Amino acid sequence: MPFSFKPLWKILIDRGMTRENLRTALKLSPTTMARMSKGNHVSMEVLGKICEYLEVPIEEIVTYMPEKNIDNK
């Protein structure tokens, strides 16, 4: 999936937090964090927890990156 969590990582840096701080605070699994690091799908439930915890809307933590080579036949 072409998602980027770079906005989330930037928010964490700006707030002096690490990915591990976030994972621990929200009791997220290491697998979930790895999926996010790779830009893979995570559940809306997880995204909701992150948004609630950081008090930000979803568009501030994730961006959609369309694939460049889409065949429009």
How high is the mean pLDDT in each 10-residue block of the chain (73 residues)? Answer: 89 98 98 93 96 98 77 48
Q: How far apart are CA 51 and CA 46, in angstroms?
A: 9
pTM: 0.84
Q: How far apart are CA 20 and CA 57, in angstroms?
A: 21
- Is the domain defined by 3-64 classed in CATH 2.130.10.10? no
Chain centroid to CA 34: how far?
10
